[in-house]
Structure 1
Amino acid sequence: MKNQIDMGLPEPSQPFAWAISSGEFLFTTHGPVLADGRILQGSTADQAHLTFQHFQSAAKAAGGSMDDYVQLQIFLTDRADVAVVDEIYRLYFRPPYPNRATVIVAGLVVPEMNIEVTGIARIVR
């Protein structure tokens, strides 16, 4: 069975949920979405901070923490942003780091987005 996790973000306009739990697992995907549903217009660093803050919110709402993430996939539109995202990543995640892939893409669903991240956490209560 799956349960939608309410993390306070507006209802997406596309058919998906911000965060879903199933058993001990949390599945979540985020980008730099503001509380009103707009995309943060800013640097990749600012967008990465907001994106990882959403990961914190999702884990907390599901009863866990950032330490519970086991896998992440980071999608970036510019290879030059990898170093800055790695820097910010270290502020939100600590060793042992989640398994991770970083993929450079031609674009994301909203043109102003420079980053989108999907992740899986295992939250044992």
Structure 2
Amino acid sequence: MSRTPVSTSNAPAAIGPYSQAVRAGDTVYFSGQIPLDPVTGALVDGDITAQARRAFENLKAVAVAAGGSLADVVRVGLYVTDLGEFAEVNAVMAEYFDAPYPARSTIEVPALPKGARFEVDAVMVLG
């Protein structure tokens, strides 16, 4: 099976040796998106809500570049540096997804790249 990298300037460029996403058949595997502004590459200012919105906007842009939408996402992984902010992150996720919701895991981590407080990755199935 061939692997096709997915890339868009509407989401931050990769900051390491990885693709924004990779399509294998009808499945798209997203790299983690942190709340970087796609134009400046800087971490967005603001609270966890602002950071989560920016990261989901980045994820949405990559989904579109891959030929889909967030409605095609079947699984998301959420990474937070403080599970005490889970309710805020959950509320933001509800702005981007409708039922039936994707499967999800939420994991507290000690740190994220560039000092971010939130990261999201996903798997999307097209077709």
Would you call these one fold, judging by a TM-score over 0.5?
yes
Considering only aligned residues, what root-mean-square deviation do their CA atoms show, in Å? 1.2
Whether 1:68 and 2:72 are equivalent positions in the alignment is yes
Once the two structures are superposed, the pairs formed by residues 30-69 of structure 1 within 5 Å of their partners are 30-35=33-38, 36-69=40-73
CA shift at 1:10, angstroms? 4.7
Whether 1:26 and 2:24 are equivalent positions in the alignment is no
TM-score w.r.t. the length of structure 1 is 0.92
Listed as ranges, the gaps of 5+ residues in structure 2 are none
Once the two structures are superposed, the pairs formed by residues 77-96 of structure 1 within 5 Å of their partners are 77-96=81-100
| Residues matched between the structures, number | 123
Are the equivalent residues in 1 in contact too, given 2:7–2:19 (CA < 8 A)? no
Q: Using a 3 Å threshold, how does the CA distance of structure 1 residues 18 and 79 change in structure 2: closer, same or farther? A: same
Instruction: Among all aligned residue pairs of Structure 1 and Structure 2, give the percentage whose two residues are the same amino acid.
Output: 27
Distance 2:65 2:37 in 1: 18
Q: 3-state SS of the aligned residue for 2:16?
A: coil
Runs of 4+ aligned residues of structure 1 deviating over 4 Å after TM superposition are none
Whether 1:2 and 2:3 are equivalent positions in the alignment is yes
Distance 1:98 1:18 in 2: 20
Q: 3-state SS of the aligned residue for 1:30?
A: coil
Describe the superposition over 1:13-47 as per-residue Cα deviations: whole angstroms up to 9, x where unpaired.
31111111111011112110112222113211001
What residue is the counterpart of 1:14 in the other structure? 16
Listed as ranges, the gaps of 5+ residues in structure 1 are none
Q: 3-state SS of the aligned residue for 2:114?
A: coil
Are the equivalent residues in 1 in contact too, given 2:12–2:36 (CA < 8 A)? no
